[in-house]
Each structure stands twice: as C-alpha cells, then as structure tokens.
Structure 1
Amino acid sequence: MAQHESQNGLPSVEILFEDNHLLGIVKPVNIPVQEDATGDLDLLNILKEDVKLRYNKPGNVYMGLVHRLDRPVGGAMVFAKTSKSASRLSESVRSRSFRKIYLTVVHGTLPSSQGRLTDTLLKDEKSNTVSVVRKGTPGGKEAILDYTVLGTSGGFSLLKVDLLTGRSHQIRVQLSSKGCPLYGDQKYGASVNKPGQQIALWSVLVGFPHPTTKEDIQLISLPPQSHPWNLWPQELQKQAVR
C-alpha cells in the first residue's frame, strides 16, 4: 500500500494495487467518483492528474471507470488504465465474476442473521432518489444482495453485504425498505439520522480476475475506526473479507 501526499493541491489517495493495466485505490468519503452537477473535484480527474504527475506523462491520461461508489461512501475501488482492461473488467461485472463486498451499520435488526434481499428498484432521475416498486413496473430493475449480521450493539447492527447487482443506491434503499436504514443516511433514513452524520457504508472488498493474467485480485479496505464503526472490534469486521 502507498499513501500519496497531495500534489498541486490534489487530495491524497491510498493505493492498494497498481500495474500497467489497473489502479486499485481507497476512495475517500465525500468525493464524487466522476464529475457531477456540483462541479466539485472528482476522483477520476484526481487519479488522472496523479498518474500524469507520478509518471511524467504528456497529454491526456486514460482512466476507465468500471464501477461506482456513492459520493458519501468510501473504500476499495478499481480503475482501468487501458481501454482493453476497462472492457474486460466491465465484462467481469456483467458476468458477475466481479465481487463487491461492503460493511454497513444500520439502525435496528433484520429478521434473520443472514439472508438474500431481492427487490425491483426504480430511479427518479429528477430527485436522484430510488424506491422499491412492484415487479414488472416499467423502468424497474432487479436488485439482489446477500447480507450477514456480524454483530449488534446499542440498537445498531453491523452487516456484511455481498452485492450481486450494482443498482444506484441499492444497499441504502433495500435495507431502508426493510426498516433498517443505514446510519447517517439522510436520503433514506432522515427520520432516525442527524444532519452531518457520515453514512456508515464502506467498500471492504473488490475482487475480480485480472484482465490480462486472470490472477484473482482482491482489493481490501477496512472502515475508519470512528463512530459507529468502533462499536465493534476490527477483528470482527475482518470476517467480512475472509
């Protein structure tokens, strides 16, 4: 792992893996993955500039976006450094050989210690919100996740979530619809969260076959040891990536 100090005013980003084909990093919280309506500095441009500076590259740097994390979410991510790698990683996503595992802290408890949630989700582009709708609803997309309850404490539950589809706001919406909104989620849990709280959702593992060597790559990042994550020992959190 390498922590790069900011260059030219750029935020520092921790590197988990890098070769000629891939760049695996820890996404900082509250930075958009790509340019959005806010005009705030985004991760894609930060990484392009970082590679340009570190390798003294002239002209434009290629950086392919393969998967996304919501702006307030942090953790492991992978980017493609070539178009061929981007294409092969995208195929891994489509064929579901691309694994995405998260840790999250939710309010309340789920009815069982582990299970699968399958819902149909519909996105409202105007309000940038997603809702659970009836199967067969026009524009609705199937959303599937597996969860395991790793622990409970003080009215909260620590969950491992294995994301099987990659829908917008999927984990947040599906768990909120079951009465367990994420800690700090203002959009889907405003009634139980306070403004200013950081959402407790972290990408702890991204796994996929390397686009050229086919080697199994696993990028791992554990959440910061601040509230509410520190309600459980890090050893327990590590069970999510074993």
Structure 2
Amino acid sequence: MPKILSNKDNLQVIYEDNHIIVVNKRAGDIVQGDKTGDKPLSDIVKGFIADKYNKPGKVYLGTVHRLDRPTTGLVIFSKTSKALPRLNKLFVSKEISKTYWALVKNKPEKEADTLIHWLKKNPKNNKSTAYIKEIPESKKAILHYKTIKTLDNYYLLEVNLETGRHHQIRAQLSSIGSPIKGDLKYGFDRSNKDASISLHARNIKFIHPVSQDNLNITAPLPKDPIWDACL
C-alpha cells in the first residue's frame, strides 16, 4: 500500500520532493478552477505547501494535466517553474506512462484489445462521441485495455492510453458497450452514490524531469466495497 503523506483537508499526498507533488484526487474535486466557483484541487495543494513549509507569500504551483471531476486517482503538479515545462514536455512526447483501472458491468467482447476511434467533442453538453472513421473536427484516440479481474457483477479493466483526448476512456469503453460504472453521461444505467464514476488513475511511471530518477507511483483505491474486491 503506497504511503499517504498527508490527509489535511482530505488531501492525499502520495509523493513529494522539491520539484513535484503527486496527489490522489477524490471524486468531485476539480483540478483547476471553473465556472462553478468551487475550490479547486490546485488551491488545496497550495494551502498544504504553504502550511507545511510556513510560506507566508504566494505559493507557486503548476498544473500539468487534469482528471475529470468524477474520476479519482493520481494528479501531478509542479512546485517549481524549472520542472513545469519539462513535465509538460514529458506529456507531449508521451514519456509518462499512465495506467487506469475501470469497473464495467458489461464484459467486453475481447479479454484484451486496442481501441482506435475518432473522438469529437460537443462543448454544449461537454461530451465526446466516438466514431469508427475520421469525421471533421475529430481527433484520433487510441487506448489499450485488458480484463484483469472478474467480480460478482463487474469486470475490472486495466487501461493504458496512447492519446489523451477529452473523456477518452469513458467514450471509447462506452462505444464497445461497456460504459464505466456510475457514468450516466456515457450510458451506465445508474449513478454511484457519491456521484463518482468508477475510473481511477492508478499508476504513473516517468523519469523525474530534474533528478532523472525513475518514478513509479501508485494511488490507493477509493474506499468502497467494490474497489476493495479488486485487490
């Protein structure tokens, strides 16, 4: 079980050094501020850093990537202006390996497969539609999945992304008839009690942009009987 460095404000800090901080995002947290006006995860992390290091002034924090609001799991932030462009470059060059776990009720036709679609985002309903062939304004989306556990009523899929498109995992799994548990927007029949969807950014692997150390970071699963059964 990965060590949790902090639980202040329910913030789970999984890894921290001078240049980066990695947290385990809860369902419902937004990574950056939006029109809802809700306090974003970035501000919570800034508060944690200010308290821990007794910083009276403005805390620097760079947002490297995001997770959908109902999704849980690992989010990387940069603590220095030196690390931020290097982390951004790692994401652009696909040198950060991201593994997700997803719970689905409908078993995929294949135990493991590579899904290739073209996704088109509709900003009006904040939803992406997956198409088999390229259409205008669509973006190619590639993911690899495999079924790693069979539960009583669900299947646990391990998903690795080649591309990082809007709602990519949600849209692509839905397109093969296996929407993620709790994901009403993409075709699941009922919501989770906490309004989450059962998609968890489980693991990240990358070379530290400053120290050049190999990092392999895993996020604990949400506290839930179904997730507990996955271990």
* SS of corresponding position for 2:85: helix
Q: Which runs of 5+ in 2 are unaligned?
A: none
Q: Which moved more, 1:131-140 or 1:16-25?
A: 131-140
CA distance in 2: counterparts of 1:21 and 1:107, whole angstroms: 40
- Partner residue, 2:91: 93
CA distance in 2: counterparts of 1:20 and 1:98, whole angstroms: 19
- Partner residue, 1:171: 169
Q: Which runs of 5+ in 1 are unaligned?
A: 235-242
Considering only aligned residues, what root-mean-square deviation do their CA atoms show, in Å? Answer: 1.7
- Partner residue, 1:187: 185
- Partner residue, 1:63: 61
Write the letter of the residue equivalent to 1:126.
K
After superposition, residues 1-242 of structure 1 pair within 5 angstroms as 1-6=3-8, 11-133=9-131, 135-190=133-188, 192-194=189-191, 196=193, 198-232=196-230, 234=231
Aligned length: 228
Please give the per-residue CA displacement for 1:97-131, whole angstroms capped at 9, x wherever unaligned.
11110111012111211111111111111211111
Q: CA deviation at 1:223?
A: 1.3
**Distance change in 2, residues 1:123/1:32 (3 Å):** same
CA distance in 2: counterparts of 1:135 and 1:85, whole angstroms: 38
Contact 1:103 1:202 in 2 (8 A): yes
Q: CA deviation at 1:134?
A: 5.2
Contact 1:143 1:166 in 2 (8 A): yes
Q: CA deviation at 1:155?
A: 4.0
* SS of corresponding position for 1:198: coil
- Partner residue, 1:238: none
CA distance in 2: counterparts of 1:219 and 1:194, whole angstroms: 29
CA distance in 2: counterparts of 1:17 and 1:106, whole angstroms: 29
Identity fraction in percent: 36
Q: Which moved more, 1:132-141 or 1:40-49?
A: 132-141
CA distance in 2: counterparts of 1:86 and 1:145, whole angstroms: 26
* SS of corresponding position for 2:108: coil
Contact 1:186 1:195 in 2 (8 A): no
Please give the per-residue CA displacement for 1:154-195, whole angstroms capped at 9, x wherever unaligned.
3421100011111111111100010000001121124x2246
Please give the per-residue CA displacement for 1:13-54, whole angstroms capped at 9, x wherever unaligned.
121111111001111221111111111111011111211121
**Distance change in 2, residues 1:129/1:180 (3 Å):** same
CA distance in 2: counterparts of 1:118 and 1:49, whole angstroms: 41
Contact 1:76 1:206 in 2 (8 A): yes
